[in-house]
Amino acid sequence: MKKQVTEETKKILLDGGFEYEVKLMREAIAMYMERNLDLYLSAFLLHLRNLYEFFYGSKKDYYAHAGHYIKSWESRTATKEIKRWNTQINNFLSHLSYARVLEVYDYYPVTMLYIHYRGLVIDFLGELPEEYMTQKLKDLLESLKYEVEINKNMEKKEMRCVECKRIIDTKKDKWVGLTGDYWHTECIREEVRKEGLKQEVSDNSK
């Protein structure tokens, strides 16, 4: 028999489990930017998937959901794009699915995904009723907003695709960024087919 979820349970979960998910997602992407290891990518994606469940998942009672805290978040749905990447995480990381053989694996647009989930966390914490807002969560919100400001300054610089040299439009293009170099996902995929760049990318990041 499952134990009862109370207001206190919900409060502790946000300050504990939720904050931990966001923290680990950030640590993993920071490490991945430094060293292009699958280990860091896997950690990043797994924590991202937990946040997907929290923000967009089916509202099973025993799984925490943003809608349990803020009514209007019950009806939020992921875009087709975000759903698609979550499906890939399910098939290629969380489960040993035959999809790994039968479906095509695409390069994750890690930076775009991170920015998306970071935005969700900022919006959610910004709207969170005061009674849930612990010091730890206040600090987290502060730190995320600060990070956005820093990124804005960086974005003023042109980001050119290493492969095709076109300027990357961060709002429109799907892109990946590794250690200050940026690729369109189409460009990097093309290169992976040629089997050259994957090695080069990991060499670059050392």
Q: Which stretches of the chain bind Zn ion, using CB under 5 A? A: 161, 163-164, 184, 187
32 or 183: CB nearest Zn ion: 183
Residue 123 or 163: which CB sits closer to Zn ion? 163
Whose Cβ is closer to Zn ion: residue 11's or residue 160's?
Answer: 160
Distance of alpha carbon 89 from alpha carbon 53, whole angstroms = 12
For Zn ion, give the closer residue by CB, 65 or 184.
Answer: 184
Q: Closer CB to Zn ion, residue 47 or residue 174?
A: 174
How far apart are CB 187 and Zn ion at their closest, in Å? Answer: 3
Residue 13 token pair: 């979960």
Helix (H) or strand (E) holding 53: helix 38-56
Type of residue numbered 159: M
Min dist CB 196 to Zn ion, Å, is 15
Closest distance between Zn ion and the C-beta of residue 167, in Å?
10
- Vertex 126 angle, CA 121 and 130, to 5°: 120
Spatial contact of 184 and 173, defined as CB atoms under 8 Å apart: yes
Rounded Cα–Cα distance for residues 90 and 48 (Å): 11
- Minimum distance between the CB of residue 190 and Zn ion, rounded to whole angstroms? 9
Structure tokens at 168: 């990357």
Please report the sign of the dihedral spanned by the C-alpha atoms of residue 76, residue 90, residue 13, residue 126. negative
Closer by beta carbon to Zn ion, 22 or else 161: 161
Q: Which residues contact 134 (CB under 8 A, 6 or more apart)?
A: 11, 14, 15
CB of 44 to Zn ion, least distance (A): 23
Are 30 and 148 in contact by the 8 Å Cβ rule? The answer is no
Rounded least distance, CB 30 to Zn ion, Å = 24
Residue 185 CB neighbours (<10 A): 17
